[in-house]
Structure formats: C-alpha cells, structure tokens
Structure 1
C-alpha cells in the first residue's frame, strides 16, 4: 500500500513542468477572447442586389431588404447587401443579364423576365395553367425542379434560390366585361410572356407597359385591359377608376415564384457558411412574401370593391379555350427547345399528381369552408 504523504510539503515544479502549466494557463485565458469560428473564416463582402420591382411595392421590394438585414445579422455585419431599385442602374428587363455579367452580384425578380430569351425560364416562375403556389414550392424543394433548373441557369452563368411567391394572381382590369371568347378578339392588353402568347391565339394584342404607366394607358384608351398582380398591389394603381371590371383568376400565373439571382462565379467563391446563410435567409423571406400577400389581399379586395371594382370570373368557355391554346403553345415551343421540353414534361407529370392529392383533401376542405363562410 502506498504511503499517505498528503501533509508533506509540496515539491517545487520542475522548469519543464512550469513551462507546460504556463502555456496551458495562457491558452485558457486567451480562449474566451478568440474570434468566433465564423468570423475567422468569413471575409468582409459588400454586394449589390438589383430588384425588378419599384420601391412603392413594399412586399416585393421589401423582400430583398429583409434578406439583406437577415444576412448582415447572421454574419455580424461582415456580409452586407445593398438593394437597388429598377433603373439604379439596371432596368428590370436586363436584370438577369446584369447578374450573369457581374454588373451586380445579385438580383431579385421572376425568371419569366427572360422568357423572350429562353421560354424555359418561365417554367421557374409560372406558366398558364401551371402549379399553384404550394405546388410550385413542392416541385422546387421536393420534386426535382431545383436540380433541373440548376442545369438550365448554369448555362446562363446564374445560380438562383426561391425568393417568394405572389400566390394566384388576378386576371386583370378591363374596361368592358369579357362574356365569351369573341370579346377577346382585337383586345389590346398589357400582358407579356407565355400568357401573352396564349391570349394572342384569341386575337388579343399583347402590350408591354410598365406598371406606373397603366393608369394613363387605360384612361387614354391606348389599351383596353391590363393585368398586374393582385388586390394589394393593384389598389395602388387606382385602375378601378378607369377599367372597373376586375376579372379572375389570372390563369397565366396561378402561383408566381420569385427568385434571388446570384452570379455563378461569385456564388462559387462564397464560403460554405455564407452559402448556407443565404439559402436559409431566402427561405425565410420567401415564406414572408407569400404570408404578407395572403394577409393583405382580402382587405385590399374589400376596399377595391367598395371603390367601384366589379368582380367577374372569366367564363368557363374562355378558361377551357385558353387551356387548349396553352397546350398548343407548349407543344410549339417544345418542338424547338429541348430544355423546355424536358422541364415542362417534369412539371406536367408533377402537376397531375399534385392536383390528384389536392382534389382529395385540400379542395374538399377548402370548398366546405368557403361554402360555410357564404352561409354565414
């Protein structure tokens, strides 16, 4: 048994042992003062983001502003994003090209801005008789769409992340009610993209007019109709005063997904931690955009009707003929564009499965609640 020498006087530490103790103590004292791991590996970045939307569209322009705040807070201010409106200096229609070229590092807006360049891009936002907002999100996050589009956008020098959804849009403002297909013949309407191509088969003349100019264009009878977004944003334009018939639904945008665009080379150079933060911030901002529209559109619709708007559904005849037109447009594009054909086929299959499920539970529940509300 070893002897108990606890009461014996302590022996002085050897020089070697004293060195180890001193080094250990120094490390222990220095540890609380060390910079966080993220800060040690994180560069200071100042990026610019160009928005496709005017500053008075507080939900849409506010989305990248929220994105910038979240990223700055998550990186302790080391990653800053300056948000610019359209024309500062990038026009909305040149947004994706400017990001791809590195004129700005980021952008926020719909992929459909590049429809004329490649109609495949429109599939990432919304197409006539495509998916609703929930379906578009499901397709993107869990149905393989993100992988399909990553290949398409990489060819253009872009990386994109979902950045919100407007939900199903309205069919627009008309000076006269559309009671049948014949009423569309010769109509001059502000609408673009694939929706414009579908309506053109009715004899509609699509017009490209910025939102702020729609009131004057309708008042002067330069155009007969105009689609914008939905009640909350439409209310700001005052169009019910010059085009009182408010048709619905906007079957060309049943759930318009917006995206945050990033220059591909800039994205590759980002630390993995910054990439993860950017993905998470985009997801949060995207959820907020949809929630804000769903919360604010009901009150805005009430105000519009009180102000003279006449709510009218598109006739069934128009909806069915438009669906036929849309399928013809897609077949024509697919015959010439392999990317469009591949991505559209994936969307079509997913859409059919999604609406099978919605028909069982979602539609039945919503239909009951809508009828219950109508009964008071």
Structure 2
C-alpha cells in the first residue's frame, strides 16, 4: 500500500471513529436527558353533572350537555364531565342536594328551585318585574351579584356560576281567557319561584313541578295553567295539544338565568387552570344559550299560531298593574325575612333602579323608534 493511501485510510478511520463516538455520546446525552426530565402525566378526572331537565330537551337539556362538553374539550380531557339528565341519577329537584352533599359534583338547573333552602336563591334566576337577561349579567359580573351568590351558596357547600339564559318568558298557557285578576282566583297554576308567591297573593294556587311533569299534569287536569319558558320550549312540550290560550308578557321571569353549581370541595380541589376552564365554559354557554333562544322563539311562535291554532292573548295593562303591586308586596316581604335575603334584595333593587334608567334611554327608546312605519325590508 502506498503511504498516501495508508494516511488517507487512517484519516477516514479516525473521522468515522470520532463520528461514532459523537453519535454514541449524543445518544448517552439523550438518555441522560430522558432520565433528568421525565414526561409529565396529566391526572384525568371524571365529574358527574346532574340536571333538572329532561334528556336532550331543546335549549335547557342541550345547554347543560354543551356546558359539560365545553369543560371536557377545553381541558383536553383532563376533566371529563359526565351528564345525568333529570331522574337518571337523582330526581330533578334533588340536584342541589346531590351536589351539596357530594353525591354529584355539579348541577345544571335554576336557582329558584332551591328557594326552600333559602329565599335569596330566587334572585339568581329571576324575580317578578326584575332584571332582563343583559341586566342580570351586568349585576352578576359588575354589580356585586356574584360575590353575594358565592356567599349564599357557600353555606350549602356550592360554588355557583351563571350558565344560560332564556330571556323574557311568556305569561303562560291557560284553559280559559284571563280578562281580569279575578279570573286567576282558584286556578291551579304551575309557576315556581317568587312568581308563584305573587299568584298566591292574587288567589291562585301556585304549584312547582319539574319540566317533565307539566304536560301530564295539564292533560289530567291536575293543573289548570302553566308557564314554562317560551315558544321554542313550549312547542317541544306540546302544550298546544291541551290548551290554546297563550298569554304574554311574562311578569315572573324577565331574564331567567340558569346555573351551574359545583360542589365547593370539588371546586377547591381543582387547579387554577381547571377553575378558569369551568368559569369560562359556563360563561360561554350563558351567552350561547341566550342567542339560541332569541333565534328559535320567533319561528316556533309562528308554528304555534299558524299550524296549531293557538290563540295569542295579551294581559291587559290593568292586570299587569295589579300583578305589579302584588309583586312589590311579595318582594318587600321576602326582603324582610332574614339578613342575607335583605342584603341581596338591596343590591338587586339598587342595580335595577340604575338599569331601568339606562335601558329606558337606550334600548326602550330604540325599540319604539324601530317600530315606526318606515320602509326597510
């Protein structure tokens, strides 16, 4: 072998050897790196959500399902929320107790269903002649409502959130025309919350029933009338099959906030990022549901009137005036019941006064102007 060939071969061998050593060292470094920084395994957790709504019921039941799915998706499966509709794990109106005592982790419902626990819960769904949906959001998020809600619910081991809204509700379905307040006397009417207290003051018998029990109760004559939500949900329940008189406006629920309550011990056990996910998921559903009801109610009302012969009636100003007076009496009585309810009512009433001033100047005057007779479409 020539000398220069030998040297070239030697150089190549050295280069290859060095490369092999480098690769080997690199491999060792990677092994050490793997040992030094093991992959972080996310701890997955399943949460049980119970609801007061029938399975897959439009708007309410589907809204609860969306909220559960939002939390699951936003956490990338770190939190999996399993939904149980009314009666699947616990009866509808026992959802609050199930979360309070830890049988379930979360509920989706309406706070006025819990007025038997404390009258102040009514204010976080809706009260007669109270706040509209937008005004409720403003009070809860910017008027001190959430802090009061937290204080109230914490006494029952619950952390609450707004998680949906149905907007202004209809006055209800009646088996006869209502031409005066006298026509309400003696009627058995399904109406929960403080609206029911107002009806009792006017001589009616107000009854609280979960959604799934309303139609059979109307059909059997156990009740003479009912309010539920609005055209979209009322059409789905088929109330038009039993009664044809459909009244508006609804005095009792001008902006019904739905809620998601989390067991307080479960809430405290969540990481800050998981808490943020729950908070933002419920807020997203709160907005989405309100938009959905606004989109569906108009079309559903048209179906009720044109396809099912429903007779739309408006409560007279005289009736609404008397209902308003009775509502004021009920609100003052409730506020005087205990210190906590009085504190919530003061905050609510003070905010209502300010909200009415702005709403009259802005939205009400706009609606009146929009209704003038000019060509647009």
TM-score normalized with structure 2 length: 0.87
| 1:218-253 deviation per Cα after TM superposition (whole angstroms, max 9, x unaligned) | 344332211111100100222223221111111111
| C-alpha deviation, 1:76, in angstroms | 2.2
* Count, aligned residues: 352
In structure 1, C-alpha distance between the alignment counterparts of 2:32 and 2:182, rounded to whole Å: 82
In structure 1, C-alpha distance between the alignment counterparts of 2:32 and 2:164, rounded to whole Å: 47
Aligned to 1:230: 230
Q: 1:89 to 1:325 in 2, by over 3 A?
A: same
Please list, as runs of the form range in 1=range in 2, the aligned pairs for 1:313-332 lying within 5 A after superposition. Answer: 313-332=314-333
Aligned to 1:139: 139
1:308 aligns with 2:292: no
| 1:249-295 deviation per Cα after TM superposition (whole angstroms, max 9, x unaligned) | 11111001011110001100101110011111111111111111010
Find the residue that maps to 2:254 and give its secondary structure.
coil
Aligned to 1:246: 246
Q: 1:176 to 1:98 in 2, by over 3 A?
A: same
1:88 aligns with 2:79: no
Find the residue that maps to 1:361 and give its secondary structure.
helix
| C-alpha deviation, 1:187, in angstroms | 1.5
Please list, as runs of the form range in 1=range in 2, the aligned pairs for 1:1-376 lying within 5 A after superposition. Answer: 26=30, 40=40, 42-306=42-306, 307-372=308-373
| 1:118-146 deviation per Cα after TM superposition (whole angstroms, max 9, x unaligned) | 11001111001110000001101111100
| 1:146-183 deviation per Cα after TM superposition (whole angstroms, max 9, x unaligned) | 01111111111100111010101111101111111111
| C-alpha deviation, 1:29, in angstroms | 7.8
In structure 2, C-alpha distance between the alignment counterparts of 1:371 and 1:196, rounded to whole Å: 36
What is the RMSD of the two structures over their aligned residues, measured on CA atoms? 2.4
In structure 1, C-alpha distance between the alignment counterparts of 2:259 and 2:44, rounded to whole Å: 24
Find the residue that maps to 1:131 and give its secondary structure.
coil
| C-alpha deviation, 1:77, in angstroms | 1.5
| 1:9-56 deviation per Cα after TM superposition (whole angstroms, max 9, x unaligned) | xxxxxxxxx9xx96996499869x975xxxx48521111000110014
| C-alpha deviation, 1:298, in angstroms | 0.5
Structure 1: state its 5+ residue gaps.
Answer: 1-17
Q: 1:262 to 1:204 in 2, by over 3 A?
A: same
In structure 1, C-alpha distance between the alignment counterparts of 2:79 and 2:369, rounded to whole Å: 48
Q: Is the 8 A contact 1:241 1:308 kept in 2?
A: no
Structure 2: state its 5+ residue gaps.
Answer: 1-21
Find the residue that maps to 1:258 and give its secondary structure.
strand
TM-score normalized with structure 1 length: 0.87
Which protein is bigger by CA-based radius of gyration?
2
Q: 1:41 to 1:352 in 2, by over 3 A?
A: farther
| C-alpha deviation, 1:215, in angstroms | 3.4
In structure 2, C-alpha distance between the alignment counterparts of 1:277 and 1:215, rounded to whole Å: 37
Q: Is the 8 A contact 1:116 1:193 kept in 2?
A: no
| C-alpha deviation, 1:57, in angstroms | 1.2
In structure 1, C-alpha distance between the alignment counterparts of 2:121 and 2:76, rounded to whole Å: 35
Find the residue that maps to 2:221 and give its secondary structure.
coil
